[in-house]
């Protein structure tokens, strides 16, 4: 296992120097954040990123992510051009010596929360999703007053995209994903890169959009679309664990996918359901890594027994200590709680891999 930490580049207030001080962390997960979706990356740019990471005494273990343009997901007339650019980007990653690319196939939004700073009982704050509050987000979409996390698209772009996706049902979305993988997997494989699709977050329908990568069973379907070792998954316990029906099965799912050789990247974080037992299970908050519904010890044990040797990162953290109410801190991506999560995960891994 290569314990890694996400870094958003030179503008990230969490510096490589700070990450280097976290016990056990040897890897960085990052991307070329200045390249627009649909534009091809160059090997020189990825090499420059890798060398910057290495200058801090760390290794670039994974690219997260190369965005998949909406035209590919929608199956528009320009998808061949867009797919060619994406494949050239994956080839550039391979040429730079980076082994894994994480990506997602979520339409329009790559994650959704209704609260970026929900207070927790211990005084910290965390990302949260409450189904009943989604109506406020839908009203914002209608009025053009978008929440901050939606600022990647203008109101006019969102209306256009929603109208286009109204013509795409779930099976059409699966067809478009298969079409993409038929091109992306051979390109990645020839470049020595493993692809790791991230599940939809949260793993259920939103805004009437066709979301399809919503379970471990969907992961198996993704792998079967192009049955090659390079075609794999990002196992995100927080995304899948947001659905109470999936929580108990996460260790077995991790073991199966890792045993199949398709679990190429792991995001490990925890969540807790907020709704009443037996309810729809659509309300949750993120929590400290050791304090939620997901048994991360069992998941880490399953990965260790399967011989998982890919990048693993602590994913989101709470806002704690001086990072609370600090506008420079990216919600979910401060230093302190992710560092605590990394050391916790490192301890779990050590416990499962050390000789008795």
20-59 pLDDT per residue, tens: 999 999 999 999 999 999 999 999 999 999 999 999 999 9
Q: Which helix (H) or strand (E) holds 257?
A: helix 250-259
* HSE (side-chain half, CA atoms, 13 Å) at 62: 32
311's CB contacts (< 8 A; 6+ apart) are 2, 4, 27, 29, 61, 62, 100, 265, 266
Does 356 score more than 70 pLDDT? no
Residues in the chain: 356
The partner residues of 28 in beta bridges, in order of sequence, read 5, 60
Residues 348, 297 contacting (CB under 8 angstroms): yes
Q: What count of other Cβ atoms lies within 10 Å of the Cβ of residue 51?
A: 11
- Detail the DSSP E strand segments found in the chain: 2-6, 27-30, 59-64, 100-104, 115-119, 125-129, 194-198, 231-236, 263-267, 270-273, 284-287, 311-313
* pLDDT mean over 240-244: 95
The CA radius of gyration of the chain, in Å to the nearest whole number, is: 19
- Enter the tokens of residue 188: 């990645």
Q: How far is CA 245 from the centre of its chain?
A: 20
Looking at every residue in the chain, the average pLDDT score rounds to 93
Please give the C-alpha separations between residue 152 and each of 146, 165, 208, 256, 341, in angstroms, as whole numbers.
Answer: 10, 17, 19, 36, 29
pLDDT, residue 144, reads: 52
- CATH code of the domain in which 134 resides: 3.20.20.150
Given pLDDT bands bounded at 50, 70 and 90, which one contains residue 143?
A: low
Round to whole Å and give the CA distance between 291 and 296: 9
- Per the structure, the complete domain to which residue 306 belongs is given by 2-353
55: left (phi over 0), alpha (psi -120 to 50) or beta: alpha
**How many structural domains is the chain composed of?**
1
258's CB contacts (< 8 A; 6+ apart) are 235, 302, 303, 306, 307, 308
Does 226 score more than 90 pLDDT? yes
Q: Which helix (H) or strand (E) holds 333?
A: none
Does 281 score more than 90 pLDDT? no
Measuring CA to CA, which residue among 332, 330, 339, 341 is closest to residue 12? Answer: 330
Burial 227-242 (b: 16+ CB within 10 A, else e): ebebbbbbbbbbbbbb
Q: What count of other Cβ atoms lies within 10 Å of the Cβ of residue 12?
A: 17
Measuring CA to CA, which residue among 68, 96, 260 is closest to residue 183? Answer: 68
pLDDT, residue 109, reads: 86
Given pLDDT bands bounded at 50, 70 and 90, which one contains residue 112?
A: confident
Residues 75, 168 contacting (CB under 8 angstroms): yes
Does 279 score more than 60 pLDDT? no
* φ, ψ dihedrals at 7, nearest 5°: -135, 130
Does 93 score more than 70 pLDDT? yes
Measuring CA to CA, which residue among 237, 317, 242, 240 is closest to residue 274? Answer: 242
Residues 202, 242 contacting (CB under 8 angstroms): yes
pLDDT, residue 280, reads: 59
């Amino acid at each position: 296992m290569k314990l890694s930490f996400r870094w958003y580049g030179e503008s990230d207030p969490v510096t490589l120097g700070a990450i280097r001080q976290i016990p056990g962390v040897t890897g960085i997960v990052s991307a070329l954040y200045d390249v627009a979706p649909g534009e091809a990356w160059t090997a020189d740019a990825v090499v420059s990123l890798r060398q910057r990471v290495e200058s801090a005494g760390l290794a670039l273990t994974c690219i997260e992510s190369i965005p998949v343009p909406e035209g590919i997901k929608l199956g528009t007339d320009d998808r061949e051009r867009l797919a060619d650019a994406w494949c050239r980007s994956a080839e550039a990653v391979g040429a730079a010596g980076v082994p894994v690319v994480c990506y997602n196939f979520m339409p329009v939004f790559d994650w959704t929360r209704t609260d970026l700073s929900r207070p927790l009982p211990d005084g910290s704050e965390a990302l949260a999703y409450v189904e009943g509050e989604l109506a406020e987000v839908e009203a914002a979409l209608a009025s053009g007053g978008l929440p901050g996390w939606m600022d990647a698209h203008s109101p006019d772009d969102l209306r256009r995209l929603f109208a286009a996706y109204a013509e795409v049902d779930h099976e059409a979305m699966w067809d478009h994903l298969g079409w993409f993988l038929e091109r992306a997997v051979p390109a990645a494989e020839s470049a020595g890169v493993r692809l790791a699709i991230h599940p939809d977050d949260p793993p259920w329908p939103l805004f009437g959009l066709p979301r399809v990568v919503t379970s471990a069973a969907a992961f198996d379907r993704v792998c079967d679309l192009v049955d090659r070792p390079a075609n794999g998954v990002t196992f995100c316990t927080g995304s899948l664990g947001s659905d109470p029906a999936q929580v108990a099965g996460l260790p077995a799912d991790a073991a199966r996918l890792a045993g199949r050789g398709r679990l190429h990247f792991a995001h490990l974080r925890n969540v807790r359901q907020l709704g009443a037992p037996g309810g729809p299970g659509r309300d949750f908050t993120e929590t400290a890594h050791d304090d939620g519904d997901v048994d991360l010890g069992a998941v880490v044990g399953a990965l260790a027994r399967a011989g998982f040797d890919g990048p693993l990162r602590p994913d989101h953290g709470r806002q704690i200590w001086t990072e609370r109410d600090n506008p420079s801190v990216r919600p979910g991506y401060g230093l302190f709680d992710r560092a605590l999560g990394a050391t916790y995960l490192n301890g779990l891994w050590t416990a499962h891999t050390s000789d008795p």
